[in-house]
Amino acid sequence: MAAGCSPTFADLAVRLGFSCEEAGGLVEFRNPADLENWTLPVLEWMIVLGAVLALVHAILRLRRQGDPTNLVLWFGATAFLFVIEPPIYFPATFGTEEYLGTMFAHNVFTVDFLWGRLPLYIVAIYPLMATLAFELVRMLGVFRRYGVFLGAVCVGFVHHAFYEIFDQLGPQLRWWEWTLDNKVNLPFFDAVPLPSVVVFAALWPMSLALCVQFFVGRHVDAGRAFSGLQLVWRTVVIGLTASIGVFVLPLPATVGGLGSDTVRGVLYAAELVAVTVVAIPLLARQWSALRRGTATGPAYSNDFVRYYAIVYIVVMGALWASALPDFFAATDGVTANGDPIGNLWYTIGCFAVAIATVAASFTVPRPADTPAPEPQSVAAPA
- Determine the pLDDT at residue 174: 96
> What's the pLDDT tens digit per position in 140-159?
999 999 999 999 999 999 99
299-322 core/surface letters (b: 16 or more CB in 10 A; e: else): bbbbebbbebbeebbebbeebbeb
Q: What is the mean pLDDT of residues 273-299?
A: 87
Q: Are 235 and 79 in contact (CB under 8 A)?
A: yes
pLDDT tens per residue, range 9-52: 888 888 888 887 777 788 999 999 999 999 999 999 999 999 99
Predicted pLDDT at 88? 80
Strand-pairing partners, residue 104, are: 178
How would you classify the pairing of strands 188-189 and 27-29? unpaired
Average pLDDT over residues 110-130: 94
The pTM (predicted TM-score) of the whole model is 0.92
- In this prediction, residues 90-104 reach a mean pLDDT of 76
DSSP conformation letters of 240-266 = HHHHHHHHHTTHHHHHHTTT-HHHHHH
Please write the tens of the pLDDT for every residue from 341-372.
Answer: 999 999 999 999 999 999 999 998 876 443 44
Inter-residue contact 155 to 133 (CB < 8 Å): yes
150 touches 142 (CB < 8 A): yes
Q: Please report which confidence band the pLDDT of residue 216 belongs to, taking 50, 70 and 90 as the band edges.
A: very high
pLDDT value for 367? 67
How far is 209 from 158, CA to CA, in rounded Å?
Answer: 12
Overall average pLDDT of the 102-131 stretch: 93
